[in-house]
Structure 1
C-alpha cells in the first residue's frame, strides 16, 4: 500500500498517540492484504443465513420458552420473545451498516479500530475473545451432557456418564476444529446439512405441538404478579430493589434472558471478508437470519404455552414433558436429536467466528503474527484455528464453564454498545465512506439500540460485572506489554535507520 497523504496523517506520531491512533479506513474498506493474508470468498446470502441460524438456534430453543413462562412471564412469554427480538434487531441494524462499510473479518474489533482508535479496538477484541472462546467451551460441555442424556433416552445404558461426557467434549471439539481448519467450504457444507436437519426437527415440534394447543392456556397473555424468588442479584436489583415475577414486570424481566438466545447474529459479520459482494450480502444475511430465528422462537413459544398451562410446565425438560402430557411421547426423541444437532452447529460457528477475530487481531500485530498466517493448502487461518480449539478443550475439560455463561453474554453486549455508538460517530466523522446499508432513522435507532443494550446489561448479575472487569483489566495489561509494542501501526511509526524517517510498508 502506498504512502498516501491520508495514511501519513493517520499515522503521524505528532498527532496520534498509541491510545488514540486509528486504523486508516482504506485498510478496512479496501482490502489489500496480499496473498499471504487472503481468505477465500465462499459465502453468499443463503450461506450467511444458515451461518446465523447455526449459532442462534441451539438446544435452548426447546427449553427457554418453558422456563421463562414457568418462572417469570407466564403466557406473556410470547410478548417477551417479541420484545427481545426488537431489541436485538436494533443492534443487528447497526452491525449491518458497519459491516457493509468495513467488510473485514474482525467485525466489531475492526469497526472500533477505524472509528475510535487502537486501544478501544483492543478492548472490543478482548471482549470478543472472552465471548467466543468461553462460549465454545460452554456449549461443548452442554452438548456432551445433552448427548449422554439423549443416548440414555433411547434406552442405551451409559456407564460412567461423567467420564463419557468429558470424552465427548474432546471428541466434538477436535472434530469441529478440524473441519474449520481444513476449509470454509467443507465447514459450510457440513453446516448446511446439520442446520437443515435441526430445522426439520423444530418444524416437527411446531407442527405436532400446534395440533395439541388449547387456546384457554393463553388466557390474556397475563399472569398475576408475585414477588420474584430465587433470582441472583443483578445490577438493576442493586439500584431499584428485587423485582416482581409475572404481570407486565415479568414480561419485561424475561426479555433480557430471552434476548441471549438471539445473540449470535454478530458472528455473521466475522465472515464479511469471505463473502462475495459483502457490502450487499452481509447485511441481508445478518438481518434475515435474525428475523427467521425470531419467528421460529416465537412459534415454539406459542406451542409451549398453548399445549399445557404454564403452571404445569416442567423446568427440567419443558417441551419433552409437555408432549408427554398430551400423549405424544415419541416427540421426546425428536427433541433430543434437534438439541444435539443444534448445539453442534453452535460450536462450529463459534469456532469460525473466534478464528476470524483472532486472525484479524494477529494480522494487525496486536496478537502474535503467526496466528494471522493463512495456510497455503487450505486458505484458512489454520494456526489460529488449532490454538482456539486447544484452548476450548482445556476450558471445557478443566474449568467449570457452565457457571460462566453470563460472561459470554457480557462480552457480546459490550461489543453491541460500541457498534451502536460507532454508527453515530461514523456518520459524523466519515460521512463519505461507501455504505452498502444504512440504519434508518439514524441517530434515533442507534440510540435506541444503546438504551436496549444497557437494559440487557443491567439485568446481569453483579458477580458477572466483577469478573468481566477483571478480564478487561488483565486485557489492558496484555495490550500495554505486548499489543501496543507489536502493533503494525507502531512499526509504521518507527523510521528504519536507512530510510531517514519513512514509515514501514504495512503489508
Structure 2
C-alpha cells in the first residue's frame, strides 16, 4: 500500500527554477494564455447551446443558467489557479495529485485526463467534419457522398493540426492567434447584427412553469428524484450543468505552465481572465438569441441561424458557419497541445513508457507523443461512435476538478510554507463550494456514462499495477535524480 501511495516531493515537481523540470522551452506570455483558453472554451457550441437549452430545458431562464454555470466554473478555476501557481508543471492536475495524494491517485487522475482530452479531440474532430460539410452545402456547393467527405475531412484536420503541434509550439501559437481573432470577429458580428432585433418581451419573467417529461430518468439525479423534468428551477439548474460543460477547457491552460514565462503569476491570471471573457461572450450571444426569438420558436437544429432567418437576416448563417468551423479548429488544436503535455509528464515520471517523454532537438517539442496522440484521435474519430459517448469527456474533467478542489484544502494544511503565486480567497470555504458544485455536475450525468467511466478506470488500474507501479521513477533508489529526455540528470 505504501508503494502505490508514495508521493512526488514538491521540489521534484517544481524543479530547479520556477517551472517544473524545464525540458520544454518557455514560450507563452499572459496574453497567449488568454488566447489558449479562448481557443478551447469557445467552440461551435456558442452558436447553439443557449438555443438548445432554452427550447428544451430552461426557457428564458437559460440566462440565469449561464450565470450559475460561470460561477461554478470560476470556483474550479480559482482552485486550479492556486495549485498551478504552486506547481507550474505541464502535468497539471495529474502532478498536483501526485504531490498531494500519492501515486495511485495521480495515475487515476492522469488516466481520467487521457480519457477527457483524447476523447474530446476525436469528438470535436467528428463534429468539425459534420459542420464543415454543412457549411459547404449552405454555400451552395454540392457535396456527393457526404459521409465519405466528412470522414476524409476529419482525417485531414487531425493530420494538419497534429503536424502543427509536432512542428513547434510557436507555429501552433501563431496559428491559434489568427484563428481565435477570426472567430471572435464572427461572434462580434452575431452580437452587433442581433442587438437591434432584440424584443424585451421575449425574455418574459425568466421563468417557465415546470413540466414533467414522459422520458424515463437517465441521469443519477433523475433516478434519485424519481422523474424527468424540464423548465422551472429544476430546468434552470439542469441547463446550468449542460452549459458548464461548454466552459470546460480553462484547465488545459494549466498544462502550459512549464512553457510560460513567470508561470507562478501568469498562469492563474491567464486561466481566470480567459474564463471570465468566455463567460461574458457566451452570455452576450445567449441574450441576443433569446431576445430575437421567443424560446417557443427556437429550432433545436441550428438555433442561432434560424433565429436570424426569423428576423430577416438569413445571410448571417454563413458567418455562423465560418465561426463554427474556426471555433472547433482551435478547440482541436488546444486539446492536442494539452493531451501532449499531460502524457509527456506521465512518461517523464515513468508511469507510461519513458520514450514518450523525448523532446525533439530540432523542433523542441515532444514530437513522438504528439504523433501518437494524433494517430489515436484519428482511429477514435473514424471507428468509434464518439459522439454518442461524448459525456465521457465531461466526467473525466469533473473527476479532475474534484481532486483539485480537495487538493487546495489538503495542501494548505500539509504544506503551508510552499511558495504560492496565487491563493484562493476564503479558503477552505470556496474550495469546498467548488467540490460541491462539481459533485452537482457529476450527478447530472447519465448512469450509462458512469458505467463506461467505471470500466475505463478499472482498466487503467490494471495497467498501473502491471506497468506504472514498477516503472515509476519513484520506485528507483535514486529518486532525487531526475533524467531529462536528453539523458542529462538533475538534482
Write out aligned runs for 1:30-45 (5 A). 30-31=15-16, 38-45=23-30
SS of residue matched to 2:477 = helix
- Asked if 2 retains the 8 angstrom alpha-carbon contact of 1:37 and 1:374, the reply is no
The one of 61, 65, 76 equivalent to 1:91 is: 76
Residues of 1 paired with 2:366 and 2:429: CA distance?
39
Residues of 2 paired with 1:404 and 1:273: CA distance?
32
**Counterpart check, 1:213 vs 2:212:** no
Other-structure match for 2:468? 483
Residues of 2 paired with 1:460 and 1:36: CA distance?
37
**Counterpart check, 1:429 vs 2:414:** yes
TM-score (norm. length: structure 2): 0.96
- Asked if 1 retains the 8 angstrom alpha-carbon contact of 2:22 and 2:258, the reply is no
Residues of 1 paired with 2:20 and 2:334: CA distance?
25
- Asked if 2 retains the 8 angstrom alpha-carbon contact of 1:243 and 1:249, the reply is no
**Counterpart check, 1:18 vs 2:3:** yes
**1:148-201 per-position Cα deviation (integer Å, ceiling 9, x unaligned):** 000000000001100000000100000000000011110000000000000000
Other-structure match for 2:265? 280
Write out aligned runs for 1:37-436 (5 A). 38-230=23-215, 233-436=218-421
Q: 1:229 to 1:212 in 2, by over 3 A?
A: farther
- Asked if 1 retains the 8 angstrom alpha-carbon contact of 2:54 and 2:61, the reply is yes
Q: CA deviation at 1:220?
A: 1.1
**Counterpart check, 1:469 vs 2:454:** yes
SS of residue matched to 1:152 = helix
- Asked if 1 retains the 8 angstrom alpha-carbon contact of 2:217 and 2:227, the reply is no
Residues of 1 paired with 2:433 and 2:168: CA distance?
39
Q: CA deviation at 1:397?
A: 0.5
The structure that has the greater radius of gyration is 1
Q: CA deviation at 1:240?
A: 1.7
**1:342-362 per-position Cα deviation (integer Å, ceiling 9, x unaligned):** 000000000000000000000
Q: CA deviation at 1:246?
A: 1.0
- Asked if 2 retains the 8 angstrom alpha-carbon contact of 1:304 and 1:319, the reply is yes
TM-score (norm. length: structure 1): 0.93
Count of aligned pairs between the two proteins: 484
- Asked if 1 retains the 8 angstrom alpha-carbon contact of 2:18 and 2:262, the reply is no
> Which structure 2 residue ranges, 5 or more long, are not aligned?
481-488
Residues of 2 paired with 1:487 and 1:31: CA distance?
21
- Asked if 1 retains the 8 angstrom alpha-carbon contact of 2:20 and 2:89, the reply is no
Residues of 2 paired with 1:285 and 1:34: CA distance?
16
- Asked if 1 retains the 8 angstrom alpha-carbon contact of 2:473 and 2:479, the reply is no
Residues of 1 paired with 2:21 and 2:110: CA distance?
22
- Asked if 1 retains the 8 angstrom alpha-carbon contact of 2:14 and 2:21, the reply is no
Q: CA deviation at 1:66?
A: 0.1
CA-atom RMSD in angstroms: 1.8
Other-structure match for 1:502? none
Other-structure match for 1:11? none
Residues of 2 paired with 1:359 and 1:494: CA distance?
18
- Asked if 1 retains the 8 angstrom alpha-carbon contact of 2:112 and 2:400, the reply is yes
Residues of 2 paired with 1:266 and 1:379: CA distance?
23
**1:446-483 per-position Cα deviation (integer Å, ceiling 9, x unaligned):** 00000000000000000000000000000000000000
Q: CA deviation at 1:494?
A: 9.1
Between 83-92 and 229-238, the greater mean CA deviation after superposition: 229-238
Residues of 1 paired with 2:490 and 2:171: CA distance?
32
- Asked if 2 retains the 8 angstrom alpha-carbon contact of 1:36 and 1:373, the reply is no
- Name segments (4+ residues, structure 1) moved above 6 Å: 32-37
**Counterpart check, 1:492 vs 2:456:** no
Q: 1:61 to 1:231 in 2, by over 3 A?
A: farther
SS of residue matched to 1:170 = helix
